[in-house]
Structure 1
């Protein structure tokens, strides 16, 4: 078997980790639930949930430095623990990714129709919208690593600009209340809501470890994967 082409730079892997789904989908899917749960403490919840993910990224970085392999966690468990555990883990990963597809595609279709001014699409339209995004992703992937990286970089630009736009509009409309400055107080934090918000926020970073699966296509497979995540 021939080796994979070394294409990805650090920026490519970082982009894949951030924009591995449709642009601003994570904000649309999880933003309202997070605000409902934690209110003005949403930024605090995001900072708190970032801590364990930073630790995880450091572990992934260390593993990539020792075992840069597109098998990622499956390959690592096979090398470190053994084939029995890695086979069990492979089934868990396959099932997890398989069952995560409908919860991604259906909301993506719903939010797409919402952006087009169709707030209540029927079941048939939702299925067609989901098929569209699935086919779109398939086409991009079939065009290879270079096309995948470029499309996700476009998605990242759209995400950043959209978040900045929402922040500016929100602050212009609500003033300090838009960022919670009007009623935020550490003495009156709703820790139950913050914990719920942390759990929801954890779902929006699902897929960030994609840079490890691209390690064999990285120009510096022992350095850039892990840092990208």
Structure 2
């Protein structure tokens, strides 16, 4: 009896993520090791409930009193519209550098490149802001009063430390970020519930009061609420960091959209919880409205828990800022890498480099240099204030550009979502709402308001959002005209579309 043929070696499992990336025109260079939780942690860290609350609570209370908290669910709902659009795009094109990659596929190379340019500088200058705002907490931990020079030096040290962590690869970065957000989330939730349940000084009717804060807006409650919407916008950005690590996430087409939703909604719930808790536990909200208490969050915590909580609370806040800085810097580096590997970013040959740990080291160095250079503005409080105002405006502009590109492509019929997320006609309606929301918020944030600047601030700080956005867009347009990166992208697309003779010969049927 003849023996059956022995089976050959089992075929190697196909790497579907790498194959999908290859179909989109790229080789797998970064290490794909993140699961859904790792991807969520990147988005959660950048949105960061601690950073979000500190970024908006004092200014918002000064503008609209305790009633400012109603702006939070409005902004959260608006950002959910954006995530709907991003989910369809990330599902179909799970690529790092989302605004650039999606824009060029939806409306062409010129639009895509400019969208990526604007997004990139928004993120890099956002890193400057996070590092600068984290520095005072380092001094608070050691009990030292900072000078402008030492503030800048410590902030630069934070950026450098975050770059070193990022350089060890996505696994180490994810480990640090996950530990940071675990400490931050647990502390935030515990503190929030404790303040609400055991240390309330006021009833919930407080949230119907402005305590006269609208006087800063000419006595108009409506204008005060518009200003608060501009400020509250800072609290719900950063979920797109999940897209930045798409090429390092397993089954990215399915997991990145889920991660964005989890990151945004979980942070949204924590921020709203803590914003209400702080207001209800604060011993004197009127002092915040009057500008006499510049740190209402710390006041509410220490007055409730006692002086022993000072240092532990500082540690929690500092951890939140550091996790945010690490994740945000990682996102910036991957955005630069996405542009540079196509040869359409300054010094692309060097910026596109990946180290032996499969981290985008060239992008890390480039983004850190830009962010650190902007820190020099911290030597002048007026200048750093202008940078912070610009950062908020520039962050919403890419949301608008991506939403607009998706809507135009839908209406032209040149884009029909074909990933795992397909919302159909409902997606078009939600896309229209996302365009309207982001257009409103860009105009609202850029609108020059003296109420959002320190007393006596020069005119250019009041106009910083509009001026800064205009400078970045103008610089991008000049680069498009002089260096013409769009021509390189069009040439690459033509080459990719041409048939490969060798591949065609392999697939051709043999003659009978």
TM-score (norm 1): 0.85
125, 132, 135: which is aligned to 1:109?
135
Partner of 2:246: 215
Q: Which has the higher contact order (CA 8 A, sep 6+)?
A: 1
Q: Please say if 1:122 is aligned against 2:147.
A: yes
Alignment of 1:176-215 (within 5 A): 177=202, 181-185=204-208, 190-215=221-246
How far apart are 1:91 and its partner, in Å?
A: 2.3
Q: Please say if 1:158 is aligned against 2:158.
A: no
SS at match of 1:175: coil
Q: Please say if 1:137 is aligned against 2:162.
A: yes
Call closer, same or farther: CA 1:90–1:132 in 2, change over 3 Å. same
53, 56, 62: which is aligned to 1:30?
56
**Number of equivalences:** 226
How far apart are 1:45 and its partner, in Å?
A: 1.4
Q: Structure 2 CA distance, aligned partners of 1:42 and 1:60?
A: 28
How far apart are 1:35 and its partner, in Å?
A: 3.0
Partner of 1:224: 255
Q: Please say if 1:92 is aligned against 2:123.
A: no
Contact 2:63 2:228 in 1 (8 A): yes
Q: Structure 1 CA distance, aligned partners of 2:142 and 2:65?
A: 28
Q: Please say if 1:20 is aligned against 2:46.
A: yes
Contact 2:34 2:249 in 1 (8 A): yes
How far apart are 1:191 and its partner, in Å?
A: 4.3
SS at match of 1:8: coil
How far apart are 1:110 and its partner, in Å?
A: 1.6
- The root-mean-square deviation of aligned C-alpha atoms, in Å, is 2.8
1:75-107 CA deviation, whole Å, 9 max, x = no partner? 111111101111222322233233333322211
Contact 2:41 2:174 in 1 (8 A): yes
Q: Structure 1 CA distance, aligned partners of 2:170 and 2:99?
A: 20
Contact 1:18 1:156 in 2 (8 A): yes
Call closer, same or farther: CA 1:51–1:65 in 2, change over 3 Å. same
How far apart are 1:138 and its partner, in Å?
A: 0.4
1:23-69 CA deviation, whole Å, 9 max, x = no partner? 83333333322333343334421111001111111111100111111
Range that drifts further, 29-38 or 57-66: 29-38
SS at match of 1:32: helix
SS at match of 1:184: helix
Range that drifts further, 192-201 or 79-88: 192-201
How far apart are 1:169 and its partner, in Å?
A: 5.5
Contact 1:22 1:108 in 2 (8 A): no
Range that drifts further, 215-224 or 89-98: 89-98
1:205-226 CA deviation, whole Å, 9 max, x = no partner? 3322011111111111111112
Gaps of 5+ in 1: none
Q: Structure 1 CA distance, aligned partners of 2:142 and 2:194?
A: 20
Q: Structure 1 CA distance, aligned partners of 2:51 and 2:99?
A: 26
Partner of 1:75: 101
Q: Structure 1 CA distance, aligned partners of 2:205 and 2:239?
A: 34
Gaps of 5+ in 2: 1-26, 215-220, 261-512
How far apart are 1:164 and its partner, in Å?
A: 3.0
TM-score (norm 2): 0.40
Contact 1:16 1:211 in 2 (8 A): yes
